[in-house]
């Protein structure tokens, strides 16, 4: 999906270049050692980007731009990948059904009937695919776009995956699917009242990203349910719960149950965030059986490879890893908030693995300046809303990655 892990072009550093340059690295290493010795002597830690060894990444880059899991993939998933890679010569007839059954257990669904035959698909109202992105696009294509037209409502700022896809669809096919981006509230929460007021007889699909990316905000399930009840049942509601595992509000209820009670509601999730499996590309949707059947029809039947599906099954019960990721993410986030407070920078408290910060200066330019210093942050989802022109988004990396990112941010802001 993303070549920068093996090839960093921003400064001309490539994996090949890195190794080729290793012979000449002695002077650099000496410099680094001197700097370290000085910092130890002075009692200050002076980590620089050159000290960073990001998991799954070339050294010397702080990559906290894509909301990936900085703690690596779930170890249980890695063990499953190792155990099953030698079976790759076989069609694995059971792996996708077993993954969907494992997701069913994870969501607390009743056990399904045993499979009727070797090739039987899952009878659960769960549909897994190669990434939640693929499912978002499928939903846009098959529920948002009707006969080349339709009207799709999405908040602003928000993830915008569906809106981006539909813009491309319009461009390539010459269609005129309407996109309505509805500003979030002053606290950057989905403004469900305004979204409801924007519905017209042509509306086909409403997208709610909850928690929202990039704002990190949540809306209560009760408010989402009121919204669904008010909406004509011909309008599909897509609730993207990519970051639901990171919500910090005690007792917060997700929308899976709504997806089983209302025939027009689809909830999507991903293994890319909490389980650290972004490269493995596993996402799923849950909805009533009719919707799931249609998604399956338009999907890539048994599209997940056996190695990926088995990794997903293992990750779902890797509770130690999930606990560790949550604990570390929250500790880093709280520390980061404190540092931002010291800098006097405004941020939006987040229920996700990332935080957006008002840098008080043009966000896009700042992201480029930090990238030139090999600190990759992002403005994804903030392209058009003028309220977030100065905002930048930090994925919560490891403590070292965050320390370096903060040092570089501080220097850039005082330059
Ligand atoms: C809100 C949201 N939805 C969906 C995705 C895509 O996830 P996946 O890796 O499953 O395609 C992302 C990825 O960053 C996201 O932020």
Residues 193, 306 within the same domain = yes
Domain-located, residue 69? no
Average pLDDT, the chain: 90
Atom of ligand 1 nearest to the CA of 209: 1
Domain residue limits at 180 = 75-316
Residue range 300-314, pLDDT digits in tens: 877 799 999 999 999
Least confident of 6-15, 54-63, 158-167, 351-360: 6-15
The Å distance, Cα 164 to ligand 1 centre, comes to: 13
User: Do residues 228 and 147 make contact, with C-beta atoms less than 8 angstroms apart?
Assistant: no
Joined tokens for residue 183: 């500003």
Count of the separate structural domains present in the chain = 2
Confirm whether 70 is domain-assigned: no
Same domain as 211, residue 340: no
Name the token pair of 69: 């899991």
**Which residues pair with residue 242 across a beta bridge?**
none
Q: Which residues sit opposite 393 in a β-bridge?
A: 356, 378
Strand partners, 208: 239
Let me know whether 286 and 342 are in one domain. Answer: no
The answer as to whether 14 is a domain residue is: yes
What was the pLDDT predicted at 345? 98
Same structural domain for residues 300 and 325?
Answer: no
Please give the distance, rounded to the nearest whole angstrom, from the Cα atom of residue 270 to the centre of ligand 1: 7
Residues 222 and 368 in one domain: no
How high is the pLDDT of residue 93? 84
Q: What digits encode the pLDDT tens for the residues 23-65?
A: 333 444 565 566 556 555 554 467 899 999 999 999 999 999 9
Are residue 55 and residue 119 in the same domain, yes or no? Answer: no
Question: What is the average pLDDT across 301-330?
Answer: 95
Query: What integer pLDDT is reported at residue 383 of this predicted model?
Result: 84
List the CATH number of the domain containing 87: 3.40.640.10
Q: Which atom of ligand 1 is nearest to the CA of 271?
A: 10
Please check the confidence at residue 123 and state whether its pLDDT lies above 80.
yes
Q: Does 294 share its domain with 334?
A: no
pLDDT in tens, 201-227: 999 999 999 999 999 999 999 999 999
Report which ligand 1 atom has the smallest distance to the Cα of 270: 10
pLDDT band at 254 (very low <50, low <70, confident <90, very high): very high
Phi-psi region of 406 (alpha: psi -120 to 50; beta: other; left: phi over 0): alpha
Spatial distance between the Cα atoms of 204 and 211, rounded to a whole number of angstroms: 22
pLDDT tens track for 128-150 = 999 999 999 999 999 999 988 99
Rg of the chain over CA atoms, in angstroms? 23
pLDDT of residue 299: 87
SS3 call for 392 = strand
Please tell me whether residue 215 adopts helix, strand or coil conformation.
coil
- DSSP string spanning 292-321? HHHHHHHS-TT-S-HHHHHHHHHHHT-HHH
Would the pLDDT of 22 be above 60?
no
Rounded to an integer, the average pLDDT of 292-298 is 93
- Asked if residue 167 has pLDDT above 70, the reply is yes
Q: Which of 32-46, 193-207, 270-284 has the lowest mean pLDDT?
A: 32-46
Per-residue confidence (pLDDT) for residue 118, from 0 to 100: 76
Q: What is the pLDDT of residue 315?
A: 98
Q: Which residue's alpha carbon is at the smallest distance from atom 6 of ligand 1?
A: 133
The terminus-to-terminus CA distance of the chain in angstroms comes to: 34
State residue 38's pLDDT score: 59
Cα 57 to Cα 61: distance, rounded to the nearest angstrom: 8
For the chain, how long is the longest CA-to-CA vector? 70
Instruction: List the beta strands (DSSP E) in 276-337.
Output: 283-286
Q: Which protein residue has the closest C-alpha to ligand 1 atom 12?
A: 242
Q: Is 370 part of any domain?
A: yes
Report percent pLDDT > 90 for the chain: 82
Asked if residues 381 and 160 have their Cβ atoms less than 8 Å apart, the reply is yes
Q: Do residue 365 and residue 242 come from a single domain?
A: no
d(CA 383, CA 379) in angstroms, rounded, equals 7
Q: How many CB atoms lie within 10 A of CB 282?
A: 26
| Residues 92 and 307 sit within 8 Å (Cβ to Cβ) | no
Tell me the whole-structure pTM to 2 decimals: 0.90
Residue that is last in its domain, among 316, 349, 376: 316
176 and 28, same domain (yes or no): no
H helices within 140-220, ranges in order? 161-173, 192-197
CATH value at residue 398:
3.90.1150.10
- Nearest Cα to 398, choosing from 56, 29, 14? 56
Q: Which residue has the higher pLDDT, 328 or 47?
A: 328
pLDDT in tens, 71-80: 999 999 999 9
Size (the chain), residues: 415
Candidate from 130, 133, 243, 380 with most ligand 1 atoms within 8 A of CB, to mutate = 133
Q: Return the residue whose CA atom lies nearest to atom 2 of ligand 1.
A: 242
My answer on whether 396 and 296 are in the same domain is: no
Q: What is the pLDDT of residue 4?
A: 52
Last residue of a domain, one of 316, 333, 352: 316
Q: Residue 140's CB: how many other CB atoms inside 10 A?
A: 25
Contact residues of ligand 1, CB 6 A cut-off: 67, 131-133, 159, 161, 209, 213, 240, 242, 270, 272, 278, 283
Could you identify the atom of ligand 1 that is nearest to the CA of residue 272?
9
User: 378 CA to middle of ligand 1, Å?
Assistant: 14
Both tokens assigned to 89: 């010569």
Which is the closest atom of ligand 1 to the Cα of 132?
Answer: 10
Tell me the CA–centroid distance for residue 388 and ligand 1, in Å.
20
The pLDDT of residue 217 = 98
Q: Which of 294, 316, 338 is the last residue of a domain?
A: 316
Res 8 pLDDT > 70: no
In a shared domain, residues 298 and 354: no
282 closest CA partner among 310, 256, 254: 310
Q: Are residues 112 and 249 in the same domain?
A: yes
Q: How far is the CA of 21 from the centre of ligand 1 (A)?
A: 35
Distance of CA 137 from the midpoint of ligand 1 (Å): 11
């Amino acid at each position: 999906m993303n070549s920068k892990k093996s090839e960093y072009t921003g400064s001309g550093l490539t994996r090949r270049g890195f190794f080729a340059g290793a012979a000449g690295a002695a002077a650099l290493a000496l410099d680094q050692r001197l700097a370290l010795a000085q910092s130890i002597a002075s009692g200050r830690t002076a980590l620089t980007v050159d000290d960073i060894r990001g998991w799954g990444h070339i050294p010397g880059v702080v990559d906290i731009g894509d909301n990936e899991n900085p703690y690596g993939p779930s170890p249980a998933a890695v063990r499953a990948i190792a155990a099953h890679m030698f079976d790759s010569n076989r069609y694995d007839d059971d792996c996708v059904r077993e993954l969907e059954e494992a997701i069913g257990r994870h969501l607390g669904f009743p056990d399904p009937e045993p499979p009727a035959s070797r090739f039987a698909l899952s009878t659960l109202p769960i549909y897994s695919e190669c990434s939640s992105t693929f499912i978002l696009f499928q939903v846009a294509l098959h529920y948002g776009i009707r006969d080349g037209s339709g009207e799709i409502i999405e908040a602003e700022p928000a993830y915008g995956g569906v809106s981006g896809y539909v813009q491309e669809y319009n461009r390539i096919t010459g269609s005129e699917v309407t996109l309505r981006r509805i500003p979030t509230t002053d606290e950057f929460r989905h403004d469900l009242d305004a979204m409801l007021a924007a519905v017209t007889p042509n509306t086909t699909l409403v997208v709610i990203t909850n928690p929202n990316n990039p704002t990190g905000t949540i809306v209560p399930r009760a408010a989402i349910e009121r919204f669904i009840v008010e909406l004509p049942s011909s309008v599909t509601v897509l609730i993207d719960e990519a970051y639901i595992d990171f919500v910090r509000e005690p007792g917060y209820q997700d929308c899976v149950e709504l997806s089983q009670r209302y025939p027009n509601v689809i909830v999507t999730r991903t293994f890319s965030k909490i389980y650290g499996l972004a490269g493995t590309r596993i996402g799923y949707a849950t909805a009533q059986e009719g919707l799931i059947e249609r998604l399956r029809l338009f999907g890539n039947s048994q599209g997940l490879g056996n190695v990926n599906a088995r990794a997903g099954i293992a990750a779902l019960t890797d509770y130690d890893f999930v606990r560790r990721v949550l604990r570390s993410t929250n500790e880093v986030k709280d520390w980061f908030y404190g540092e931002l407070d010291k800098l006097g920078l405004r941020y939006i408290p987040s229920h996700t693995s990332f935080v957006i910060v008002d840098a008080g200066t043009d966000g896009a330019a700042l992201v480029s300046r930090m990238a030139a210093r090999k600190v990759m942050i992002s403005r994804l989802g903030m392209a058009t809303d003028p309220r977030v022109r100065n905002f930048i988004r930090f994925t919560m990396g490891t403590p070292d990655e965050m320390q370096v990112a903060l040092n570089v941010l501080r220097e850039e802001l005082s330059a």
